[in-house]
Structure 1
Amino acid sequence: MGIDLILLDSLYKKRLTGLRDFAENREISKNGSVEVLRARLIKNEILGLCDLSWDGIQAISHKEIGEILKIFGIKSSGSHKERRQRLWLHLNFDSRRMTIERLVELDRETLYDLCQKLEMPLTGTRAVLMGRVAGVLTNHLNGWGKIKRNLNRNGLKLDNDNLLLNEILVSQAGKEKNYEDFIIPVPIATLEDAKDLLKIGIDKEDEKIKNDIKLIISRIEDLDRLIGTILKQYMGKWSQKERDLLIRLATRTEWPIEEKIVKKRFIAVSNDIAEAKGASMIEISIAGSKPSISTEKTIERIRSKINNF
């Protein structure tokens, strides 16, 4: 990961006044405590090309998220889920305010949202939800919200070799392709065609499959965003690896794709959306399904079948 080590070193060592001045010069919000502002500046100025939204964090690999946590200067060990939780907390809350004691002030809806973002079960009373959030906060006590003391005091201790390597990496990073375009939603017509592909022949299926497909259709814009996030994270590549990641993320976020026919259609539509976004398609046959075909041919096939109804 090519990052500006000199700038990062500076952000580690700056006090609140210095961070506010820097934020003002970069036209970035300077609100918040010293650590909240430091995290915001590292996110924007050091990791600006990384999608660190909740969906983006879900798509980051175990190893990569550990590297990102190190860049933020906080604890980087733990399971994949623990790393996701810690990064999300660090980017969205002030550790001095997000405490177990203050959870009693939150209503059930807020606690429900917190459980959802922290990947905890969503059932139960307000007290049960509060207990789950409290458990996560206890597990991550002193692991987020404040950079390690030695970084704040001494920075990165850069030597000449580090500086030369940093100059090369930053220069190379500046020449990389901009993958922001993958986040742009595909045209409405493409999503409508995806919906049509999902529901072809749906009347012949049982009620569960019908309901599962209808739910996917209602969330087609979410699928578009999720695919865009994966494409951005993996530099526009769409292969079996990225498809498998999509399936894992969809399962984790309760998309109804357990049934074989539903999953098959979900993958086919995802392939077409990825291609419509301009992904580099790496064809790998999926068991029990035909290879992905171009979006244009898909549209023609859909329209032909619809006209026959």
Structure 2
Amino acid sequence: MPCEWSYSVVVTEACLTFDNLTLGYNSHPAVHHMSGVVRKGSLVAVVGGNGSGKSTLMKGIVGLLRPMSGRCSIAPGTRFAYLPQLSELDRSFPARVLDLVSLGLWPKRGLLGRHSVEDRRAVLKALMAVGLEGFEKRSIDTLSGGQMQRALFARVLVQDADLILLDEPFNAVDARTLSDLIGVIKHWQGQSRTVMVVVHDLDLVREHFSEALLLARRPVAWGEARQTLSAENLLRARQFGEAWDENAPWCGQSGPHSHEAAHGHDIIAAQARGGL
């Protein structure tokens, strides 16, 4: 279950809402005072230096980290899919590509549910969409980094999620794989799915992403990608990172840089409890 196990009804067509969210590990905040709205159908790049809180934010959204304060809310009924960094996945488990991609059916069929003919067709269609037709019986430990990432994208395709969260999906992939994966992401965008992607390559963000969130343990800027990645904002992010004190006390005041301020959102939230 994501975030705080509760939901909010927010501004029209909001998929995801951050309300003064702070996340961290062992009482040490890693993301401070995150406020704002991710609209349904948005394609958002999450950028920042090493240790800026990008992966922490993704884990907070899907519920792997509970908020230290504030909250993160997903619109009621939203189905989500999360793809962590490739380095966090155990590829030594004896499984075929077909098995890995079929895991995307779990939200629909359950762990022990039987797969229908339509399910198998969906899996094969997803493999074809990512360029892995004919790889069904290959063991995942024989795949290259790019092939493994393609297989994981196929699993996300099978999940048929409304909100898709990808943590550094372009690491260790070749140029052709990168282009193909960008194509899949653009396809999701064309279907009005909401996609958030942790990305290191700023030129890639400027070329392919309409929106960017720049983090330096707190939001530095959030909005149109090229404006967000201005020289001034990148300098501020670097300065925030250099000035960070791991031993500083946990601050309790909201920072000045929020998506609400940047976009003038007037968030009217009414809590609605439920589950995905």
Q: Normalising by structure 1, what TM-score? A: 0.24
Q: Normalising by structure 2, what TM-score? A: 0.26
Q: Which has the higher contact order (CA 8 A, sep 6+)?
A: 2
Greater radius of gyration (CA): 1
User: Would you tell me which structure has more helix in proportion to its own residues?
Assistant: 1
